Every structure is written in C-alpha cells, then in structure tokens.
Structure 1
C-alpha cells in the first residue's frame, strides 16, 4: 500500500469514526459521500463532531436536546426522533425524561398566536393578567408585552387552556428545569424556526435555574447537526438519479 493510499484509508477511518459518534452508524449516503468527495466528507464530519461533542453536556442530555430539535413542530424529523430517543435511553435517560421533552414541544406551536395577535390588537392596550404576574413571568412580559393580556381578554378559553397545559407539563416533570429550558431554546433555534426572542427567554431561564453559559452555548451548537440532513438527502437523490 502506498503512502497516499494509507493516508486515504486513515482519513476514511476518521470520517467513519466521527460520523458514528454523532449518528451511531455510517449510512449508505455517508459511504457514498466519502467516495464522491473525501476531502469534504472529512471536513464535514469534523464540523458535525464539533457541533455535537461537548464535555459541557451529559451524554443523555445531549441526546434529549437533539430529540427536542428533531421532534419540534417545525422540524418533525421522524428518523431523527427515533435515533435520538433510542440513544438518549441508551445513555441513561429515563422514559419519563424522554416524555418530558416531547411534552414541552407543543408550546412551540404557540408562537403563531403570540406573534400573530399583535397584528390584530394594540399590545399597549392590555394589562398583565393576575395569573401571570410575579417574578417568574416577568421575563416573558418584558419580551412579549401585552401578549398575555390579549390572550386573557380576547381568547379567554385559549388562555385558560394554555395555563392548564403549562401546569400539567411543569409540575410533573423529572427533567431538571435548566434542561427543560435549554430543550425549548434548541427547538426555538432550529433552522426551520429561528425564533430568537423565545430562545433568549429560555436561555435566560436556564441560566437562572443553574445552567452555565457554556452549557447553553453547547446546547445551541447542537442545532448545526441538522445540516447533515441536507447532505444525506442530496447524496441519496444523486445516487438515485445516476441509477435511473
């Protein structure tokens, strides 16, 4: 074997190792990518590993945060959900913690209402409802002034149901509050959503609950792992076209 062949084999082994770390295996699409463009495959696998592999997050939490991303209402990556759920459980997450993450995600669908109501009503015309006064809700009121007031006055049934849903989720959770908040931050900052105002609120809450800034940064970096989907889909389509 020549020196060049040895180097190529070593690079391919490195790519496979990094991809397996992030996704658990090397798919047919990754094997094809390595064959098509080994230089890109090497660089991309390093990028994905860097986004994924942080000592700041326990392994099961990392998988739970990726689950929050992939299961979010704007992503809905069925394969990703199955992968991250299995890997979270294998890494030591409880079934309840997995469920806790999934039960948080309906709140992402609320953003259509919170962003839409100010298009209908004047946010300055509403007071903070008694139900959402106090220190816990103050950051929300600061970032979304008038929204709770509009909900309570204009959509009272929806507001009551929203409050009841929140209590059901937050009062019966095994997952630590800081991780719940970071799960919502990751869902908000998915490439398909990019709701930075909501993510800012959840990062702030996570820090209040004891998360470090490095943990928050590592959580947000996980959103970049989704870049793999574009490449795998594209390579699969290219392969299909060539076989047609």
Structure 2
C-alpha cells in the first residue's frame, strides 16, 4: 500500500506553531514533525477518519480545545467528511461525560453502605431507553449503579445515548476507534472504557495496527501544548522587543 503524502501543513494537527518551532529549534522541529504526523502518513487509517478522531479528541468534554477543533473540522471536511459524520463525532464527545457517574456511583454505594446509610432503590420505575440499550446489546454493566440510584435520570440519559448508538453516519468499527481515542486520551485516561472499546473494535473488524494508530493520534494530541504556547510566546517576545528603547535612544537618556 502506497503511503499518503502529507505535508506539515496538510493536516488538522498543526497551526502556525510548527513554523515558529522550525525557526527556534530546527533539529527538534524535524523530529517532532516526523513523529507527530506518522498516523497521517502511514495510511493505516483513512485521512478522513484520522481527522474525525482529531475532531473528537479536541471537542471532548475533557479537552474543549477550540482552535484544534476548528483545524481538524476543516481538515475533515476537506477529506470528504459530511455534516452528519462530524455531528455524530460531536455527540460522542459530549456523552462521554457519563463516565463521571460510571466512576462515582459505585463509590457512592460503597461509602453509603460503609457509613450505614440506606439508599432507596426505585426498581419499579419504567426505563424504556435503558431497556432499548439492553435489547441492542449496548448496555454497559458500569451503568448499573447509577441506574439503581436514579432510574428516571439514567433513562433520560440513555434516551440521548441510544441516539448515538443507532446513528448510521459512521460504521461500528469507526465508532469504536473514535471511542478508544476519547477514552485513552491523556485528558481522560478512562481505563474501563478503553478496554471495552478495544474489545468491541476488534469484534467489529478493526486491526491491532488500526487501534495502535488511534493511540498514536492521542500522543500527537500532546503537541496542542505547542500550538497553544508558541504563538503566545512569540507575541510576548515581540511586544517586549517593541517596548524596549533602541540602543541610540537608550544612550541619549
């Protein structure tokens, strides 16, 4: 398979920061370019899917990087992504916030029990959306604790979630690869979800190489620190230089 030719600017990852880095530290900049853009240049994932994953990483409720999101969104559209595909990615980036309940509700049940506090479980409340998720084979047992604590709220959330799972804009394989990215991202690092989605991705036909490419994209996301900081530093240095008196002016003081 011929590897795609991707220039340093022909991607959603880099903004003006790479040019600044080339000027200030050319040797390190060359190493950074080779490493950061490998997922784009390897051809393991399609260019469109790489950029959609970039949209997900930057839009994720654990990240919310506006500039990175805009770059990847433009690049995804350039690569042929549709409005529906990008909308589904944004939905996935939003609903991952349920991990707050996946993490906290079992702890609440355990600590309440340890403290001798009884918690009423409303098991007779109707939960049609939860039932639909179970029927679709998409129920996660990590959701059982907060279903027991608040079935009405859980069902309201699952009515939102089932709309994501039943959306056909992306394939099951693509959804699972995207989910791996947002769960494994260094701003989230949610191990149970990462493992679950890796297992589901393999079942959906993803290869280990594709999953590794997703994890590499999570690492490339780290360079958003440079995209944020280098233009800011360059601007501050330029401002200070403009405010300093010239040598001739300083000598006349």
Contact 1:21 / 1:49 at 8 angstroms: preserved in 2? no
1:19 maps to 8
1:189-200 correspondence runs (5 A):
189-200=184-195
Cα RMSD (Å): 2.7
Retained in 2: the 8 A contact 1:51–1:224?
no
How many residues were matched structurally? 220
TM-score if structure 2 supplies the norm length?
0.77
The farther-off stretch of 185-194 and 29-38 is: 29-38
**What are the ranges of 5 or more consecutive residues in structure 1 without an aligned counterpart?**
1-16
Q: Does 1:205 align with 2:193?
A: no
Does the CA contact (< 8 Å) of 1:18 and 1:46 recur in 2?
Answer: no
Q: Deviations over 1:142-190 (max 9, x none)?
A: xx3xx41x22221111211122112212223311011111111101111
Query: What residue ranges of structure 2 are gaps of 5+ in the alignment?
Result: 1-5, 114-118, 241-253
Structure 2 distance, partners of 1:159, 1:26, is: 40
| Larger deviation, residues 71-80 vs 230-239 | 230-239
Q: Secondary structure at the match of 1:121?
A: helix
Whichever of the two has the greater Rg, that structure is 2
Equivalence for 1:235? 230
TM-score, normalised relative to structure 1: 0.80
1:3 alignment partner in structure 2: none
Query: Structure 1 or 2: larger helix share?
Result: 1
Matched ranges for 1:58-97 at <5 A: 58-97=46-85
Q: How does 1:1-244 map to 2 (within 5 A)?
A: 18-23=7-12, 27=16, 29-122=17-110, 131=131, 136-137=137-138, 140-141=140-141, 144=142, 147-148=143-144, 150-243=145-238, 244=240
Asked whether the 8 Å contact 1:100–1:173 carries over to 2, the reply is no
